[in-house]
Amino acid sequence: MTDSRAPIHLRSAGVSVVVVPSPEPRILHWGGALDDSDIGALEDSSTGGQAYSSFDLPRIFPLLPRERSGWSGRPSLAWHRGGQFSDPAPRLAAIERPDAETVVFRYADAAASVDLTLRLDLFGILHHSIHVSAAESTDPLDLVAVRAVLPVPAEATEILDFTGRWTRERHPQRQPLGYGAHVRENRRGRTGHDSAFVMVAGTPGFGFRTGRVWAVHTAWSGNSELAAERLPEGAGVHGAALSSGELLLPGEIRLAPGESYTSPETLFVFSASGLDGLSARVHAWLRFQPAYPSAPRPLVLNTWEAVYFDHDPARLGDLARLAASVGVERFVLDDGWFVGRPDDRSGLGDWVIDPDAWPDGLGPIADLVHDLGMQFGLWFEPEMVNPDSRLAREHPDWILSTDEDPALWRHQLVLDLTRREAWEHILEQMDAVITRTGIDFIKWDHNRDLHAAVSRATGRASVHAQVEAVYALMDELHTRHPSLEIESCASGGARVDLGVLAHTQRVWASDTNDPIERQAIQRWTGLLLPPELVGAHIGPERAHTTHRSASLGFRMATALFGHAGIEWDLAECTDAELDALRAWSALYRELRPLLHSGTTVRADLSGTANLLHGVVAPDAGHAVFAWVQAETGPNAAAVRVPIPGLDPASRYLIRERDELTSADPHQVLSPAWLDGPLSASGAMLCEAGLPLPVMNPGSALLLEFVREPA
Ligand code: GLA
């Protein structure tokens, strides 16, 4: 226990979080770095005046805001014991400082017999979690809500969050932060195509490069809620509150004496330099996590759009040879390899190799792929079951629904992995295929929402337990196969969150490979995820999902800025296309160390015609940018565009990398500087910029910046 009255100052990477412990712990500051010598004045000025028609004391905003503490917004805690003790009254019992980045507040609610721990860790971003333990009592403790709530200053008056649908995930929506609550609830049982993803509150007009922003993300793959809430009386001396938590279903978390619940971790991220600053903090943190992949990201070929369910070993062998010939490093066999799976109407749940499609098993294709120098990946959808499967026929009780006739979605139902016997059955089936075949990578899919996910074993809502069971299954497979990598896919990008990324090595951001759609999806997925964790594939000229055509150059330039791959039947390609893919894979390998370790940079441009995004090396000595013409714009000739993120004090040699694509001009001549290398200072590039060409819609220009010797 530390001195219970001394303020606690967590400080890391330009961020300060100051908490004063008494009369009960409350945040004095979450934002830019302060000096220890500032804390006294901060504390002395920590209460506002007393409002008309209000409490007889100035309001404060504690770490656990709730009605009893005078907060009339969404409370941090809501529970009851058999209808009683519905007024949480946690009192601080102890404060622990296990290390300089961490503070743990221990509380007890004696009346309700509840012990509670709130933990904050600041590693540039603030990690917040709450642990609730039910002590001795005759009645179980029903949890209604456990939320992480933090105040944001009154200058944060605009909010950004996300929505989406299949093939259009993480689409931004912005609005003023008005009075009341802006709440995004996810009741889909998975993260969802329309996930709010992250909720950002910021200063008016904040952008990628400008503005002060405060953001919140729930690191969880089940039901969840994010909210920004602003009340006329403020939040203590702050303007509004951001909150995050698991959305608990009725009766879902009922704690017997001695049982406990830990909230999913919430990430709170402050940036004084706009959304790029926010991304830089999260990317840096993710790159140090245990689940972060340790090897360079191999160039992928995924078979889905090449063959769909048509698994012909000879054809797939030819595809593997072609893949190796263009430089692919990981060959992934998608859906269709297991028994009873001629299409998507049957087979899920039976993870046994189909003897009709693969009479010799998967061993020969895996061996061929390995002999060609590639890794072998395989598709699974472990949480799902088709009614037309052996598993569903033998174990009807393993369906996660108490509805006798549950609604199908892609002809499938959810398997109740909270049942130990079901979990073990799937684990052993997967383990057998992985071990016998030599699987290096799993594409882990999840193709439906969970609806009324009540376990037949317990009669209880089971989304929380299902998510925990899935994470545990992933972890067990990693333990048994330490070099195995897992991709989180869910009908494209419906399970993209930092919860699942603690157990997986990449996400499939979307089922669309249309580069126009992908530019937007990758840009916004990149708000939290660094490029190397985001699968980005080249599809055929005419995208299967939108039927829009795009040049190969544009498709290649788009896929370059991710964990790159191909999702195309290479047998259809002309020799010229195969040569272009070879040049692309060589460029990917050349630039991969930069693209997968650097800082993601996005320019703030007016209008939607162009995007300028790039990756700058940590020492700013090297950078690659893409200038993208997504649609036609109002400009007839090139105008100067500032190039952000370079070192103002360095000089750079700038050249077009035209191996994949060169400026496809929509003007008689492109700017002359593109013809030869140009030398310019980072200051000039940032302040004045370069005239970037007007191009035909659906094209990209790649620019490389290399620091010149001093
Ligand atoms: C989902 C995935 C696709 C593909 C199919 C296979 O839709 O998002 O990439 O794997 O399933 O059925």
Please write the tens of the pLDDT for every residue from 528-577. Answer: 999 999 999 999 999 999 999 999 999 999 999 999 999 999 999 999 99
Question: CA-CA distance, 213 to 158, in Å (whole number)?
Answer: 9
Q: Which of 445, 514, 647, 664 is catalytic?
A: 445
> Residue 320 carries which side chain, given as an amino acid letter?
A
Q: Which of 348, 447, 545, 566 to mutate to test the pocket of ligand 1 (most atoms within 8 A of CB)?
A: 447
Question: CA-CA distance, 66 to 72, in Å (whole number)?
Answer: 7
Please give the distance, rounded to the nearest whole angstrom, from the Cα atom of residue 43 to the centre of ligand 1.
54
Residue nearest to atom 12 of ligand 1 (CA): 335
Residue 579 among the catalytic residues: no
Residue nearest to atom 11 of ligand 1 (CA): 491
Please give the distance, rounded to the nearest whole angstrom, from the Cα atom of residue 491 to the centre of ligand 1.
5
Angle made by CA atoms 124, 30, 10, in degrees to the nearest 5: 55
pLDDT at 532: 98
**Pick from 555, 579, 639: which is nearest to 605 by CA?**
639
Q: Which residues line ligand 1 (CB under 6 A)?
A: 304, 334-335, 344, 379, 445, 447, 489, 491-492, 511
Average pLDDT over residues 459-486: 98
Please give the distance, rounded to the nearest whole angstrom, from the Cα atom of residue 192 to the centre of ligand 1.
15
Question: CA-CA distance, 383 to 657, in Å (whole number)?
Answer: 44
Confidence of residue 352 (pLDDT cuts 50, 70, 90): very high
Confidence of residue 583 (pLDDT cuts 50, 70, 90): very high
4 pLDDT exceeds 90? no
Question: CA-CA distance, 600 to 597, in Å (whole number)?
Answer: 9
Q: Dihedral (C-alpha) 323, 328, 330, 335: value to the nearest 10 degrees?
A: -40
Average pLDDT over residues 93-113: 96
pLDDT at 315: 98
Q: Taking a C-beta distance cutoff of 8 angstroms, is the pair 566, 537 a contact?
A: yes
Residue nearest to atom 7 of ligand 1 (CA): 491
The DSSP code for 238 is B
Residue nearest to atom 6 of ligand 1 (CA): 335
Q: Taking a C-beta distance cutoff of 8 angstroms, is the pair 380, 444 a contact?
A: yes
Please give the distance, rounded to the nearest whole angstrom, from the Cα atom of residue 385 to the centre of ligand 1.
15
Question: CA-CA distance, 297 to 330, in Å (whole number)?
Answer: 9
Backbone angles phi, psi at 413, to 5 degrees: -125, 175
Q: Taking a C-beta distance cutoff of 8 angstroms, is the pair 103, 239 a contact?
A: no
Q: Which of 440, 511, 514, 664 is catalytic?
A: 511
Average pLDDT over residues 219-242: 97
pLDDT at 137: 80
Question: CA-CA distance, 398 to 422, in Å (whole number)?
Answer: 7
Residues 6+ away with beta carbon under 8 Å from 617: 594, 597, 598, 599, 623
pLDDT at 3: 56
Please give the distance, rounded to the nearest whole angstrom, from the Cα atom of residue 396 to the centre of ligand 1.
25
Residue 511 among the catalytic residues: yes
**Pick from 77, 79, 138, 128: which is nearest to 102 by CA?**
128
Question: CA-CA distance, 309 to 332, in Å (whole number)?
Answer: 14
Helix axes of 420-437 and 463-480: crossing angle, nearest 10 degrees: 30
Angle made by CA atoms 290, 295, 300, in degrees to the nearest 5: 115
Average pLDDT over residues 34-54: 95
Average pLDDT over residues 183-205: 98
> Residue 268 carries which side chain, given as an amino acid letter?
F
Q: Are strands 485-488 and 441-444 parallel, antiparallel or unpaired?
A: parallel
- Please give the radius of gyration of the chain, using alpha carbons only, rounded to the nearest integer: 27
Please give the distance, rounded to the nearest whole angstrom, from the Cα atom of residue 110 to the centre of ligand 1.
51
Q: Give pLDDT tens digits for 427-445.
A: 999 999 999 999 999 999 9
**Pick from 598, 596, 605: which is nearest to 643 by CA?**
605
Tell me what the pLDDT averaged over the chain comes to: 97
| Alpha helices per DSSP H over 560-606 | 575-595
Q: Which of 305, 383, 489, 512 to mutate to test the pocket of ligand 1 (most atoms within 8 A of CB)?
A: 489
Task: Report how far Cα 684 is from the mean position of its chain's Cα atoms.
Answer: 35
Q: Which of 335, 381, 488, 514 to mutate to test the pocket of ligand 1 (most atoms within 8 A of CB)?
A: 335
Average pLDDT over residues 6-19: 97
636 pLDDT exceeds 80? yes
Confidence of residue 662 (pLDDT cuts 50, 70, 90): confident
Please give the distance, rounded to the nearest whole angstrom, from the Cα atom of residue 335 to the centre of ligand 1.
7
438, two tokens? 């030599």
**Pick from 617, 530, 559: which is nearest to 292 by CA?**
530
pLDDT at 2: 54
pLDDT at 5: 78
Ligand 1, residue 490: give the atom nearest the CA.
8
312 pLDDT exceeds 70? yes
- In 3-state terms the chain splits into helix, strand, coil percentages (rounded to 5) of 20, 30, 45
637 pLDDT exceeds 80? yes
Confidence of residue 661 (pLDDT cuts 50, 70, 90): confident
Confidence of residue 663 (pLDDT cuts 50, 70, 90): confident
